[in-house]
Structure 1
C-alpha cells in the first residue's frame, strides 16, 4: 500500500470543524460595531454550515444527494469568505483574517 505523500491532507470533518471554531474566536475579538455584529452573525452561521453540510454529505442517500451537499459546502465556504472580507478588525487580527479567507478558499 502506498503512503500518502501530501502532508496537507486532513480529515475534512475535523478541518471544517476547526474552521468554524477559528471563525468563532475571530468574531469574538472583533470591535463591537453595528456592522461587525451583523456581519459576525452571518459569518458564524456560514462557517458552521460548511461542516454541517459536509457531515450530511457523508450520510447522503444517493450520489446526487452527496453532490448537492458538497455544492452547498462550497457555497457556504464562499459566503464565509465574503463576510470575512466585510468585517472590520484590529490590525493585529489582519493575519488571522487573511488565513481564514485562505482556508475558506481551499
Structure 2
C-alpha cells in the first residue's frame, strides 16, 4: 500500500484494488487462495466502481444505494483478506495493511453516507 494517505477517494479505492490484485498474485498456489483471491479481486474492485457510480448519481436514492454497496464491498474485502490471512500467515504485514485500508474505506464511506443525509 501507499504510505501517504490519498484524499482523492476515487484514486484511493483504485490503489486499494490494485494492491489487492498484486497481493493475490503473490500468494502460493492452493484452491483456497485461488477461490478467496478471486472473491477479493471482485469485491475490492467493486468498492471503487460503486463509488464512481455514486458520483454519477441519477438521484439521491441512487447516490445512497451506490455508496452503501461500496461500503458493503469494502467490508466484504476485509472478510476475504481475513480468510487469506489465516491461510497465509507468512504474509501477515501485507494483509494487515490491506485489512486496515478496507476498514478505513468503510469508515470513510459511512461518514459520507451519514453526512449526506
Alignment TM-score, normalising by the size of structure 1: 0.89
What runs of 5+ residues in structure 1 fail to find an aligned partner? 1-6
Q: For the residues of structure 2 that align with 1:102 and 1:90, how far apart are their CA atoms?
A: 16
Aligned CA RMSD, in angstroms, stands at 1.3
* Equivalent residue for 1:36, pick from 21, 25, 33: 33
- For residues 51-62 of structure 1, what are the structure 2 equivalents within 5 Å? 51-62=48-59
Count of matched residue positions in the alignment of Structure 1 and Structure 2 = 99
Deviation of 1:64 (Å): 1.2
- For residues 70-81 of structure 1, what are the structure 2 equivalents within 5 Å? 70-81=67-78
Q: For the residues of structure 2 that align with 1:8 and 1:29, how far apart are their CA atoms?
A: 24
Higher relative contact order (CA 8 A, sep 6+): 1
What runs of 5+ residues in structure 2 fail to find an aligned partner? 105-117
- Whose helix fraction is larger, Structure 1's or Structure 2's? 2
Answer yes or no: is 1:48 the counterpart of 2:45: yes
Q: Answer whether contact 2:44 2:77 (CA < 8 A) is retained.
A: yes
Q: For the residues of structure 1 that align with 2:5 and 2:77, how far apart are their CA atoms?
A: 21
Alignment TM-score, normalising by the size of structure 2: 0.81
